[in-house]
């Protein structure tokens, strides 16, 4: 079983209230091979919402509010769902502060990328779950 970012599965859950549909991911969910989660929504953040980026150890939104607690809460919940469903691989949305893997925005909201993982992707990797992004498909 795989866990996938809900926005890749066609769910309109991103900060703009839009999806980022990826046909291969949509097909996996339809075949029952993957489950979709949105860590930001699971953390109680509204949709649409102010975009956030990782700044050091914190997650800060573009209005300057610290949303680290919500990101950690939602990522822990998504991790529990992943483990409970026996997921051993994740396909997550690239560059997201929750789901990004390998590259994330640098915290300046200037579309600049740095090496790093989103909060949920990092938790999955720490549990030994392989993480790729839609760009790796």
> Residue 40 interacts with ligand SF4 (CB under 6 A)?
yes
Site string for ligand SF4, 66-105 (x = CB under 6 A): ---------------------------x--x-xx------
> Residue 7 interacts with ligand SF4 (CB under 6 A)?
yes
Contact between 10 and 34 under an 8 Å Cβ cutoff? The reply is no
Contact between 13 and 19 under an 8 Å Cβ cutoff? The reply is yes
Q: Which residues contact 83 (CB under 8 A, 6 or more apart)?
A: 127
Nearer to ligand SF4, 39 or 107 (CB): 39
52 vs 122: CA distance, rounded Å: 17
CA atoms within 13 A on the CB side of 2: 25
Q: How far is the CB of 77 from ligand SF4 (least distance, A)?
A: 12
Stretch touching ligand SF4 by CB under 6 A, among 6-14, 60-68, 107-115, 125-133:
6-14
Nearer to ligand SF4, 67 or 99 (CB): 99
66 vs 15: CA distance, rounded Å: 16
Q: Of 75, 84, 86, which Cα lies nearest the Cα of 124?
A: 75
Among 39, 54, 104, 124, binds ligand SF4 (CB under 6 A): 39
Q: Give the interface with ligand SF4 as residue ranges (CB under 6 A).
A: 5-7, 13-14, 38-40, 93, 96, 98-99
């Amino acid at each position: 079983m795989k866990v996938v970012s809900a926005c890749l599965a066609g769910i309109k859950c991103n900060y703009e209230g839009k999806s980022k549909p990826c046909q291969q991911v949509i097909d996996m969910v339809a075949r029952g091979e993957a489950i979709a989660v949105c860590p930001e929504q699971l953390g109680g953040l509204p949709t649409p919402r102010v975009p956030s980026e990782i700044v050091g150890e914190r997650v800060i939104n573009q209005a300057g509010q610290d949303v680290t607690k919500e990101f950690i809460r939602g990522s822990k919940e998504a991790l529990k769902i992943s483990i409970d469903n026996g997921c051993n691989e994740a396909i997550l949305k690239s560059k997201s502060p929750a789901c990004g893997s390998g590259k994330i925005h640098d915290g300046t909201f200037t579309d600049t990328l740095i090496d790093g993982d989103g909060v949920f992707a990092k938790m999955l990797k720490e549990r030994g779950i392989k993480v790729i992004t839609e760009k790796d498909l």
